Amino acid sequence: MSTIHTTLSFLLFFIFNYHDVFAIPTTYLCRPEQRNALLEFKNEFEIRNSSSLYCSNNRGSKVSFYSKTESWKNNTNCCYWDGITCDAKTGKVVELDLSCSRLHGRFHSNSFQNLGSLTILDLSSNGLYGQIFFSVRKLSNLTSLKLSNNQFSGQIPSSVGKLSHLTSLTISNNQFSGQIPYSVGNLSHLTSLTISNNQFSGQIPDSIGNLSRLVNLSLSGNNFAGEIPSTFGSLYQLASLRVNFNNFSGNFPITLLNLTKLSYLSLSNNKFTGTLPPNMTSLSNLEYFDVDNNAFVGTFPSLTNLSSNSFTGMERSIKHGLSSDLRTLDISSNKITVYWKYSDFLKYLS
């Protein structure tokens, strides 16, 4: 009995593997107009050796730089080229991942003609410049757009609102400028919006409160000014909010106390004034809180879970080891009034 069973299993195993090896889908043929579009795209850019060996990809791990486009050859099936993924049914190119590929050069406005089926576009960590948004705005099926670590410039046009399927928009470390268009509120599927380290300015539009699925929002390292809009209070899924290194002003944005999922909040290096809210216990998941280099005055808020969580922000601010009892210190009961330069305050305690 068990022999028969084993034999049958073996046979089945063999049949399934046979199927896997020989049934390479023939429907996976690259479309000629898309192959040509990709080859033209390739020819627009130079391959340059990078001065560093490793590239930090979007997942934060280090990978080697290497030129994916070098393997792209005419009259071969582009669905098998490095960095390309095609849809299994239609054979259309749906994914273009050329991160860390040593591409260098200026973007042309028609770079993505015939590639309108793209859902994922990743050009992170190359030497690309020019005004890419004018070509990207036609890619209405995009769900993920990653352009970090290049020298792209220009503004985000209001037509970005047409990219309404985007779940992730990551354009940090470029030279984008101008204001964030009101139409960004149309990107209601976004879970991650990272525009840090650019030259954006102006106020943040109220419409951002529409992005109710946002989990990560990073506006750090720009020149944004004005107050944090009260509509931030409806970003109920937000876990990480970074607005540090800008020119934001006004009182502590009290509306943030609605964001019970927040675990990371950095307001440092802005021009916030007034007092911190006396009671921030609604933010029971907060693990990092950083208000360095503002003009806050008053007492430290009570934070229920100060004791159970590791307060990385504080720990980082304390350069020379305040007593390890910090986690259980009830700072609010001390009623210490200090000029709210946060790191100075911590020095008073030590």
Ligand X SMILES: *[C@@H]1O[C@H](CO)[C@@H](O)[C@H](O)[C@H]1NC(C)=O
Residues near ligand X (CB under 6 A) are 36, 39-40, 47, 49, 74-75, 92, 116-117, 141, 161-162, 164, 183, 185-186, 188, 191-192, 207, 210, 215-216, 223, 225, 230-231, 233-234, 240, 247, 249, 255, 258, 271, 279, 281, 284, 302, 304-305, 308-309
Compare residues 305 and 343 and give the one whose CB is closer to ligand X.
305
Phi, psi of 39 (to 5 degrees): -65, -40
Minimum CB distance to ligand X, residue 152 (Å): 21
Minimum CB distance to ligand X, residue 157 (Å): 10
Helix runs in the chain, H state only: 2-22, 32-43, 133-136, 312-317, 342-349
- Residue 180 contacts residue 202 (beta carbons within 8 Å): yes
* Angle, vertex CA 282, rays to CA 278 and CA 288, nearest 5: 85
Question: What's the CA gap between 12 and 56, in Å, rounded?
Answer: 43
Q: How far, in whole angstroms, is CA 312 from its chain's centroid?
A: 21
Minimum CB distance to ligand X, residue 26 (Å): 20
Parallel/antiparallel/unpaired status of strands 240-242 and 264-266: parallel
- Residue 108 contacts residue 131 (beta carbons within 8 Å): no
Minimum CB distance to ligand X, residue 318 (Å): 22
Minimum CB distance to ligand X, residue 292 (Å): 17
Compare residues 309 and 347 and give the one whose CB is closer to ligand X.
309
Minimum CB distance to ligand X, residue 184 (Å): 7
Question: What's the CA gap between 208 and 252, in Å, rounded?
Answer: 18
Compare residues 186 and 317 and give the one whose CB is closer to ligand X.
186
Compare residues 47 and 318 and give the one whose CB is closer to ligand X.
47
Query: Amino acid identity of 15?
Result: I
Minimum CB distance to ligand X, residue 43 (Å): 7
Closest residue by Cα to residue 45 from 68, 22, 62 = 68
- Residue 135 contacts residue 110 (beta carbons within 8 Å): yes
Compare residues 123 and 303 and give the one whose CB is closer to ligand X.
303
Token reading at 86:
């095609």
Compare residues 164 and 179 and give the one whose CB is closer to ligand X.
164
Compare residues 131 and 143 and give the one whose CB is closer to ligand X.
143
Token reading at 205:
């539009």
| Residue whose token pair is 């730089």 | 65
Minimum CB distance to ligand X, residue 244 (Å): 15
Question: What's the CA gap between 268 and 288, in Å, rounded?
Answer: 12
Question: What's the CA gap between 256 and 115, in Å, rounded?
Answer: 40
Minimum CB distance to ligand X, residue 345 (Å): 19
Compare residues 83 and 347 and give the one whose CB is closer to ligand X.
83
| Environment class of 256 (CB within 10 Å of its CB; exposed 0-12, middle 13-18, buried 19+) | buried
Compare residues 5 and 56 and give the one whose CB is closer to ligand X.
56
Residue 142 CB contacts under 8 Å (≥ 6 apart), including other chains: 118, 119, 120, 121, 136, 163, 165, 166
